């Protein structure tokens, strides 16, 4: 008896996220996707986000030009590239295609950091209800991915989001207050946050954004 292969579509992706699952490929060249539902889930508390003062000064300076949804393709391509300490990634061409489709449908978003017009860092993820599912970030300039993360958190807070899912907790994320939740607790918080009437703010008023970043820095 042959096994039926289920086509992974953007609609299936959204349904999976709502149930707490997310896809990954084994390697950049891998041709299969796997659905993950880890026992411990990483989250970054939006109300308990820790913003070091040095980084806050960088965020509020003109060191980077930060945009949202201006170069999703470039951002996911940057995340897919090998980097020092990371010889391979889980972002294969199918992942790029699926998330690019979610971006065209208005569900996936990117935050980009540029210097002298060049893309030097950023992140991307999926917004559903009051949840932002962070997928990956990259940086080829010091602090670029961190600045993108701070801008994301500020926008999520301004937009009424309840949960920032990081999938796992890494040392990079732990410095900002990321924590692990047991699967059952995560899914309870997920269900609550999905029902929140949030709005992803790609371009909030600059004064509101700056004020929110200063609130983050003040703790």
- Mean pLDDT, consecutive 10-residue stretches, the chain (219 aa), reads 59 94 74 85 93 92 94 94 62 88 96 96 97 95 96 96 94 92 96 95 91 90
Looking at residue 197, its pLDDT comes to 92
What is residue 194's predicted lDDT score, i.e. its pLDDT?
A: 97
Domain at 174, CATH number: 3.40.630.70
Q: What does residue 113 show for φ and ψ, rounded to 5 degrees?
A: -120, 130
Q: Is residue 207 part of a domain?
A: yes
Tell me the β-bridge partners of 41.
Answer: 181
User: How many separate domains does the chain show?
Assistant: 1
**47 falls within a domain:** yes
Range of the domain at 72: 40-218
**8 inside domain:** no
Three-state secondary structure call for residue 61 = coil
- The confidence score (pLDDT) of residue 139 equals 93
Residue at 33 is within a domain: no
Residue 111: per-residue pLDDT = 98
Task: Report in angstroms the alpha-carbon separations of 112 from 7, 25, 34, 75.
Answer: 31, 24, 27, 7
Q: What is the pLDDT of residue 218?
A: 85
């Amino acid at each position: 008896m042959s096994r039926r292969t289920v086509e992974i579509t953007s609609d299936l992706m959204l349904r999976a996220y709502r149930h707490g699952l997310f896809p990954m490929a084994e390697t950049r060249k891998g041709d299969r996707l796997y659905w993950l539902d880890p026992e411990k889930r990483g989250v970054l508390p939006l109300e308990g986000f820790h913003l070091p003062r040095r980084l806050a000064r960088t965020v509020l300076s003109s060191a980077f030009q930060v945009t949202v949804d201006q170069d999703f393709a470039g951002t996911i391509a940057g995340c897919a590239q090998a980097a020092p300490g990371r010889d391979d990634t889980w972002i294969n061409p199918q992942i790029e295609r699926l998330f690019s489709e979610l971006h065209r449908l208005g569900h996936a978003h990117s935050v980009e950091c540029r210097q002298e017009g060049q893309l030097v860092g950023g992140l991307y993820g999926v917004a559903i209800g009051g949840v932002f599912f962070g997928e990956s970030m990259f940086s080829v300039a010091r602090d670029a991915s961190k600045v993108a993360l701070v801008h994301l958190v500020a926008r999520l807070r301004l937009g009424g989001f309840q949960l920032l899912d990081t999938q796992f907790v890494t040392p990079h994320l732990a410095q900002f207050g990321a924590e692990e939740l047991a699967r059952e607790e995560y899914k309870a918080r997920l269900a609550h946050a999905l029902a929140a009437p949030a709005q992803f703010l790609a371009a909030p008023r600059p004064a509101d954004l700056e004020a929110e970043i200063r609130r983050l820095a003040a703790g």
